[in-house]
Amino acid sequence: MAIIMDGNGRWAQKRGLPRVEGHRRGALKAERVVEWAAELGIKYVTLYAFSTENWKRPKEEVEYLFSLLVTLLRKKLKKMLEQGVRLRFTGAIDELPGSVANFCHECEEKTKQNDRIHAILALNYGGRREIVDAINKAIQNGVTRVDEDRFRDWLYLPDVPDPDLVIRTSGEMRISNFLLWQIAYSELYFTKVLWPDFTKQEFLKAIEDYEKRQRRFGGL
């Protein structure tokens, strides 16, 4: 499963709160969603936490997002270890400020033995960027020809299966450069609910909706 966690800013604005309060509530919700997914036996959840385009936001908001990420994960690392959560990151992680990048690697290292659920945070992530990075990596390794299967080997996380379901909150009906290669046959689910308001009931509703769909992958 993959989730575009949208609507934190609007959630805060509606309540006369600063946008960053929306992000704080959104981050707590992200943690809950990983728990709900693990309870259901979902093995991989990829969460869009920061896109390559999000650098256009005010500097204070960007700084807040990264400090929130580090503070929250630091606080929750022990619990995640106990719950069998393997924390992973996707995106241009090594272009993040050094301390953030190091912290991401540290979280990956510490949780790498876990396999109840892989919680993957997309950070400094862009789908086109991932494809271009993959091509360049392949070229640097002397590859002159790829096919669809071998191309996957050059993506950021080749072992992570394509998402069956992509959820986007807050009513926007677009993909915003998320997992472009991986979502070729994913089912899409959009809800108007703003991310901090996303409930377990909403989560289950998305999955029920997904279960009713017939996936033909181009066949009959």
Residues taking part in catalysis: 6, 54
Q: Is 125 exposed, middle or buried (0-12, 13-18, 19+ CB in 10 A)?
A: buried
The nearest distance, CB 65 to ligand FPP, in angstroms, is 6
Handedness of CA 191, 194, 195, 198 (dihedral sign): negative
163 binds ligand FPP (CB under 6 A): no
The token pair that represents 75 in the structure block: 């606080």
The nearest distance, CB 139 to ligand FPP, in angstroms, is 32
Q: Alpha-carbon distance 103 to 98, whole Å?
A: 8
Q: Alpha-carbon distance 33 to 9, whole Å?
A: 19
Give residues 4-43 in contact with ligand FPP (rule: CB under 6 A): 5-10, 23, 26-27, 30
The nearest distance, CB 156 to ligand FPP, in angstroms, is 17
Give residues 59-78 in contact with ligand FPP (rule: CB under 6 A): 68-69, 72
- Give the relative orientation of helices 19-39 and 59-83 as an angle to the nearest 10 degrees: 20
The nearest distance, CB 73 to ligand FPP, in angstroms, is 6
118 binds ligand FPP (CB under 6 A): no
Strand partners, 4: 48, 168
Among residues 75 and 213, whose Cβ is nearest to ligand FPP?
Answer: 75
Among residues 26 and 91, whose Cβ is nearest to ligand FPP?
Answer: 26
Q: Total residues contacting ligand FPP (rule CB under 6 A)?
A: 18
Q: Alpha-carbon distance 209 to 145, whole Å?
A: 39
Compute the 3-state secondary structure of the chain and give helix, strand, coil in percent, each to the nearest 5: 50, 15, 35
Among residues 104 and 134, whose Cβ is nearest to ligand FPP?
Answer: 104
Binding site for ligand FPP (CB under 6 A): 5-10, 23, 26-27, 30, 47, 49, 54, 68-69, 72, 121, 170
